[in-house]
Chains A and B, each alone.
Chain A
Amino acid sequence: MKCSVQKLFIALIFVISATSQSSGQRPSVGSTPSGPPAGMVAIPSGVYFPLFRAETDLKEIAVKTFCLDIFPVTNGEFLEFIRSNPRWRRSAAKRILADKSYLKNWADDLDPGSNAPVNVPVTSVSWFAAKAYAQWKGKRLPTTAEWEYAAAASPNRADGQNDMAFKKQILQWYSTPSAEKLSAVGTNRANFWGVHDLHGLVWEWVADFNTAMVTGDARGDTGIDRQLFCGAGSQGAKDVGNFPAFMRYGFRSSLKADYCVHNLGFRCAKDL
């Protein structure tokens, strides 16, 4: 019980931002021969500025053009994966790869049931499960840089940093406890790139979630906590007003790869 309450708390914490630069060209959506696969959009190359960095960290990370799923992966899609990969059934999953909350909202191994409608994002999946799904699809999980870069776009701008209505909306989501039942994917408006639900529905796994919260000083991993979270120390952050990015950063750093959290899902990326 203690665990589930704590997970509920973590779940309250995760979603937006990072500043970004891009060419500002709206990408094409669809499945033209040279374009992105169906269900994905191409996000043009740009630069991601990490929210926080130690002296030796990279100041900016170039993000190459990549494809990103338009929607988070749904229960229905995950069911297909499980049908083809019996070792990922709830009853068969290895404990080291998915904790005991794995797919706990599903009715049965091959039945998401009424608590996990097929058009709703799959949640309570571990990083390993998300990664296995992505591999099965011939895709991969997005990196933190890719995810943050794509998620920095507001409905109208590639860089939503100065879009106050957008920022306000995200903060509002952060301050509202997760709904008992999640909405279907696509309920939220698409962002500038044509991607839905990066904010406002579920938290999402990224490939390199476990690179958050490591200091440049290898003698200990405590320095960055102090710098990031003590009032004055947050001046070292790229954008001190970016609360959502702080929250995502904190959330990612509190995760372990086998955690299955009730409002943590994922989407896939792919090289173009």
Chain B
Amino acid sequence: MKFFPSVLFLLLTAAGVTSCKINSLHSTNKQSCCSQAQAESPGTFTDKSVYQIQTTWTTDGGNQIKLDKLGGRPQVVAMFFANCQFACPIIVNDMKRLESSLPPASRSRIGFTLVSFDSERDTPAALAEYRKTRALSAEQWTLLRGNPDDVLELSALLGVKFKADANGQFAHSNVITILNAQGEIVYQQVGLNQDIQKARQTLQQLVEK
């Protein structure tokens, strides 16, 4: 019986912390929309930029790139793994819906990036195969793999939770993140098959600046 009150307390606490953080994320967004003056060369991204992480990743073409190579244009980012049987195809589909909802002029100024949880199986060749199967355009889409430590770090930055299970699958949260050109998180869509209007508007505003 003693257990129950403490659990209730725990849940309330966790909920409280979450709302507190969401507030701070909103204030971040307000600032970020006005800080376009920041230079976009590596190393000079803002304090709120995901590109503060200087890790190196491998593309499906086998090229090594620093994360900040993605900067300079808004990016729609999701974490996934190619063997995913359920959620990831839907996440990718949501991103493709988002891509096709944009007018061509805007689309060409936005990047779409998929980063794999599965450092072992998602080799550049496996990612290249995934690009082909899913018809992801070379101009817009970047597919990345990294070492497990860097994957964990990026997921922590994006607030994505994941865990390998016993069947070689990964349980993971489903989050699509929109980064502005500086790499600041301006919007996150959580869940699958969501209404993409808000995400679309966010991107539209970013490219119209």
Q: Do A and B come from one complex?
A: yes
A131 and B153 contact, CB distance less than 8 A: yes
Interface positions of A from 1 to 30, Cβ below 8 Å from B? 2-3, 6-7, 9-10, 12-13
Collect the chain A residues with CB atoms within 8 Å of residue B126's CB: none
Assess whether B163 is in contact with A94, with CB atoms less than 8 Å apart.
no
Q: Does B48 contact A (CB under 8 A)?
A: yes
Residues of chain B in range 107-162 having any CB-CB distance to chain A below 8 Å: 149, 152-153, 155-157, 159-162
Number of interface residues of B (CB under 8 A): 45
Contact between chains at A54 and B165 (CB < 8 Å):
yes
- Indicate if the CB atoms of B161 and A210 lie closer than 8 Å: yes
From B159, B162, B167, B171, name the one whose CB has the most chain A CB atoms within 10 angstroms. B171
B6 CB to closest chain A CB, in angstroms? Answer: 7
Interface centre among A94, A210, A219, A243, by most chain B C-beta atoms within 10 angstroms, is A210
**Binding-face segment, A31-39, A159-167, A253-261:** A253-261
CA distance A99 to B23 in the complex (A): 13
| Any B CB within 8 A of the CB of A111 | no
Residue interface mask B1-31, A partner, CB < 8 A = 1: 0111011011101101110110010000000
Q: Give the residue name and chain of the B residue nearest to A7 (CB).
A: B17
A253 x B171 contact (CB < 8 A): no
B50 at the interface (CB under 8 A from A): yes
- CB-CB under 8 A from A225, the residues of chain B are 11
Q: Does B172 contact A (CB under 8 A)?
A: yes
**Are B172 and A218 within 8 A (Cβ)?**
yes
Contact string, B36-69, partner A, CB cutoff 8 A, digits 1/0?
0000000000011110100000000000000000
- Given the interface pairs A95-B48, A214-B163, A247-B6, the reply to whether A54 lies near B153 with Cβ below 8 Å is no
Number of interface residues of A (CB under 8 A): 49
> Do A6 and B169 touch (CB < 8 A)?
no
Q: Do B162 and A214 touch across chains, with their CB atoms under 8 A apart?
A: yes
Q: Is the CB of A229 within 8 A of B10?
A: yes
Known A-B contacts A7-B17, A13-B13; A243 and B6 likewise in contact (beta carbons under 8 Å): yes
Q: How far is the CA of A94 from the CA of B47 in the complex (A)?
A: 5
Q: What is the bound-complex CA distance between A57 and B20, given in angstroms?
A: 31
| Max chain B C-beta neighbours (<10 A), residue from A127, A214, A216 | A214
| Sampled A-B contacts (15; CB under 8 Å) | A12-B13, A56-B166, A56-B171, A58-B166, A59-B166, A94-B48, A94-B49, A94-B52, A127-B156, A211-B163, A216-B171, A217-B171, A221-B173, A250-B14, A257-B153
Closest 6 CB pairs of A and B: A257-B156, A218-B87, A254-B14, A211-B163, A95-B47, A56-B165
Q: Which residues of A contact B (CB under 8 A)?
A: 2-3, 6-7, 9-10, 12-13, 54, 56-59, 94-97, 99, 127-128, 131, 140, 207-208, 210-221, 225, 229, 231, 234, 243, 246-247, 250-251, 253-254, 256-257
Given contacts A216-B171, A218-B174, A254-B14, 16 further A-B contacts (CB under 8 A): A57-B163, A96-B48, A96-B50, A128-B156, A207-B152, A210-B155, A211-B161, A211-B163, A212-B161, A221-B161, A234-B3, A246-B7, A250-B7, A254-B17, A256-B159, A257-B153
Chain B contact residues, CB within 8 Å of chain A: 2-4, 6-7, 9-11, 13-14, 16-18, 20-21, 24, 47-50, 52, 84, 86-87, 149, 152-153, 155-157, 159-163, 165-167, 169, 171-174, 191-192
